[in-house]
């Protein structure tokens, strides 16, 4: 199981994330491409909140396909096109991911993504320790 750690010599996280995540030896790693707010039918969701929720649903679907859980998330890199979207992003993360998963996280404000319709994109990395005998 991954171990979420916040070292004593570092300021406490400003949100639901960890400064470090220790992954056990022989873990299975999964790297997810940047996920955007597009549903399985190819429809771009309208508005930042709906796009952010869809991004997290996409991440969860990718994890499940590889028999992983939200708590296997090790790192998120979040790209938002406007700092005013931070609270909607956080609300969507809480709704879909919850507070149990606390991967290391970085949030960046960028000028744009692959399409002007996209307001958020998230890259993710997950790791799952070996099954116990």
| Every domain of the chain and the residues it spans | 28-128
Q: How confident is the model at residue 83 (pLDDT cuts 50, 70, 90)?
A: very high
pLDDT digits (tens, 9 = 90+) for 53-75: 999 999 999 999 999 999 999 99
According to CATH, the topology of domain 28-128 is 60s Ribosomal Protein L30; Chain: A; (3.30.1330)
Task: Output the pLDDT for position 131.
Answer: 73
pLDDT at 132 exceeding the cut of 80: no
**pTM higher than the cut 0.85:** yes
Q: What percent of the chain has pLDDT over 70?
A: 98
Q: Which two tokens stand for residue 56?
A: 């997290």
* Residue 14 near residue 107 (C-beta atoms within 8 A): no
- Pairing relation of β-strands 104-109 and 73-80? parallel
Give the number of other Cβ atoms within 10 Å of residue 52's Cβ. 26
Nearest to 97 by CA among 126, 123, 65, 71: 71
Mean pLDDT (the chain) is 95
- Give the model's confidence band at 43: pLDDT under 50 very low, under 70 low, under 90 confident, else very high: very high
Q: Is the pLDDT of residue 129 over 90?
A: no
**Please, which pLDDT band fits residue 133 given cuts at 50, 70 and 90?**
low
């Amino acid at each position: 199981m991954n171990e979420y750690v916040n070292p004593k010599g570092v300021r406490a996280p400003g949100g639901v994330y960890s400064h470090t995540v220790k992954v056990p030896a022989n873990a299975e790693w999964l790297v997810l491409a940047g996920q955007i707010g597009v549903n399985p039918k190819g429809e771009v969701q309208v508005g930042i909140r709906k796009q952010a929720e869809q991004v997290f649903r996409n991440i969860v679907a990718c994890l499940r396909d590889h028999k992983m859980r939200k708590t296997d998330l090790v790192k998120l890199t979040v790209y938002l096109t406007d700092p005013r979207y931070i609270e909607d992003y956080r609300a969507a993360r809480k709704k879909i991911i919850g507070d149990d998963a606390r991967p290391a996280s970085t949030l960046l404000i960028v000028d744009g993504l692959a399409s002007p319709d996209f307001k958020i994109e998230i890259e993710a990395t997950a790791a799952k320790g070996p099954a116990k005998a």
